[in-house]
Amino acid sequence: MNPDLEFRLLNDYQHDFPLVAAPFAAMAAALGVSETDVLATLARLQERGTVSRVGAVVRPRSIGASTLAALAVPEGELERVAQLVSAYPEVNHNYQREHHYNLWFVVAAPDEVALQRVLKEIEERSACRVLFLPLVEDYHIDLGFDLTGVRSKRALHVETHAGGAPRPYAPTPAERHLIAAIQSGLPLVARPFAAAGAQAGMSEAEALAALQNLLDCGVIKRMGVVVRHHELGYRANAMVVWDIPDEDVGSVGPCLGGIEYVTLCYRRPRRLPGWRYNLFCMIHGHDRAEVLARVEAMRQGCGLRDVASEVLFSTRRFKQCGARYIRAAA
């Protein structure tokens, strides 16, 4: 085991993964180790659960359909309902949070019809009404973590912007097959794009060109090592929800999204009378006190001291994996 190599792989390659025929060899050359060392270390990190996968992160609602959703589950039913929600392959995140709405999950599907079918089934089977909160505008989405604590979002080439709904993209049949092949992660082999391309009926060169196009179009948010925050020592995470006047969201969203420790910031619809909040952001920290201190700093930094908000700490992770927008061929 090489702790320094583990750290470099976890920290340096969450972004800017080499889009070349032999990416792990390119990483090895930059790190001064062998390709075998890189592949073995990544496999070990996946087995340990520190790394979820190595591959593409798709921008929400750029292809297919997706939404954040929540349920208010009676305490005695939480285990049963959480298990039935997690059993859906369309569900990629499922967390218990401290709130009346205590089960929060993300659903991704090939289209809106399939998405609504899953939500309807969950509602019927759980006997709980689904709070349906699709993304309206995103201001910052990036669950990468700088383990050194010194690099800025700018240095990491992380985009924070003035907001807007993602532009829907209609992938070609070949691109759909390629996305299906990689959405759960690249194979940890010397020529992963050749292997993924073969599954999609494409050559290695065609697969690389298609992935570059999907990056250029903004469908793929980033290529790299996708980590799990809890296993990295970020033991506390909270979704902070704000009741921002509609006319101010366009200025407050970029302010919050530009803060170093905010990993997600997006606008979602209110669902009155039961849900008043329209701006969401995610904060991770090493402990609860650190997260609460960061929330207070956000209030001051973005002029939100008098704005209604709630801090929803997660208390249990039932499921965390990559979104599957396209069904793999049987």
pLDDT in tens, 116-142: 999 999 999 999 999 999 999 999 877
pLDDT above 90 (res 330): no
**102, 72 in Cβ contact below 8 A?**
yes
Q: What is the mean pLDDT of residues 203-209?
A: 97
Tokens read off for 61: 């609602």
Task: Work out the mean pLDDT of the chain and round it to a whole number.
Answer: 91
pLDDT above 80 (res 249): yes
pLDDT for position 158? 43
pLDDT above 70 (res 161): no
Q: Give the model confidence (pLDDT) of 278-291 as tens digits.
A: 999 999 999 999 99
pLDDT above 60 (res 62): yes
pLDDT for position 147? 67
- Cα–Cα separations (whole angstroms), residue 59 to 22, 103, 126, 141, 159: 25, 23, 29, 8, 12
d(CA 266, CA 282): 9
pLDDT for position 59? 85
Share above pLDDT 70 across residues of the chain, in percent, rounded to a whole number:
92
Q: Give the model confidence (pLDDT) of 167-200 as tens digits.
A: 678 888 899 899 989 988 999 999 999 999 999 9
pLDDT for position 169? 85
N residues, the chain = 330
Please give the domain boundaries of the chain with CATH numbers for all domains.
65-159+230-320 (3.30.70.3460)
Q: 197: helix, coil or strand?
A: helix
pLDDT above 50 (res 29): yes
pLDDT band at 326 (very low <50, low <70, confident <90, very high): confident
pLDDT for position 56? 92
